[in-house]
Copies of this chain bind each other. A is one copy, B any other.
Amino acid sequence: MAGFGDRVAEHVDRRRSQLVLGLDPDPARLWPRAIELVAGSPGGPAERAGRAVAAHCRLVIEAAGDRCVAVKPQFACFERLGAPGWAALAEVVGDAAERGLLVIGDGKRGDIDISARAYAQSLFGWVDTPFGPVPGLGVDAATVNPLLGRDSLAPFVEAARSRSAGLFVLARTSNPGAADIQDRALAAGGTVSDALARMIDELGLPGTGARGLADVGAVTGATAPERLEALRELMPRAVLLLPGIGPQGGTGLELAPAFAPGPAGGLVSASRAIVNAHLAESAASRDPAMAAADEAARLRELLWGLYS
């Protein structure tokens, strides 16, 4: 199997999309159809909510998935439902994979080596037990937090690379608080984010594919084009995962530096913009699925136009 960089490039080519469908299900704002589907099902609130979340995500994927290259489930939204939430997450991963979408597990995990290995088993591998091996989620990529340094990322890189999966390491997030640590100037020059970017580039170098993309990418909030350009220079081979396009975002032009290595150089995620499109004042349709399909189509086209 090709490495993750090549896989992303092939998926982007084939699906003609750089759009990532963010799945951040809020159990209090599910599509009504999802609640209807599980209405008569047994169990307590957690079990029923877990099933409703899984049904909601399946409907969202059915509506908008064809316009996207990947889905990005936000782990926090699932694990707050406990074990039934984790079961829903596993179901969503399977549903998306069946439809040919890449799955980016957005858990931002990070820990010292032995715990990082356990997280990597959960994401990309399996764990041996006295009752037989237990497989993990089997995602195609995962977001990870690099604060603990290189040796904390190594088990993730190793596990991902061995199965042609990839990582997106936090380099510069899009929230205002990113200024508190990530934007700090270092005595040796550059910022903390720059140091992270260099680490990401080094980690991904041995996993660079024929299409010039590495298997270690970066999460880079697209707040300012000049910053994105600087980060791109430090990580010429990285696939950049750019959160935050949507109603609050700009024209998309600020994303252009992401696509320097080619159309698969940047994957852009949108979640509420698509899932809640029917609630927007300007919505052409009040039907959640139709509005989501329309908005995903619009965003896909906007992004695709940036590159070609």
A2 at interface (Cβ–Cβ under 8 A)? no
Across the interface, do B175 and A81 meet the contact criterion of CB distance under 8 Å? no
Q: What is the CA–CA distance of A115 and B46 in the complex, to the nearest angstrom?
A: 19
Q: Which residues of B contact A130 (CB under 8 A)?
A: 27-28, 30, 35, 49, 52
User: Smallest Cβ distance from A185 to chain B, in angstroms?
Assistant: 4
Chain A 135-171 near chain B by CB (<8 Å), digits 1 or 0: 0110000000111111111000000000000000010
Contact pick for A188, options B149, B151, B184, CB 8 Å: B184
With A45-B132, A181-B196 given, is the CB distance from A147 to B146 under 8 Å?
yes
A155 to chain B, nearest CB (A): 10
Residue on B with the closest CB to A49? Answer: B129
Decide: A131 and B178 in contact? CB cutoff 8 A. Answer: no
Check if B28 sits within 8 Å of A81, measured CB to CB. Answer: no
From A136, which residue of chain B is reached at the shortest CB distance? Answer: B80
- CB nearest neighbor in B for A30: B130
- Distance between Cα atoms of A174 and B114 in the complex (Å): 13
B-binding residues in A (CB < 8 A): 24, 27-28, 30, 35, 44-46, 48-49, 52, 74, 76-77, 79-87, 90, 108-116, 118-119, 121-122, 127-134, 136-137, 145-153, 170, 173-182, 184-188, 192, 195-196, 199
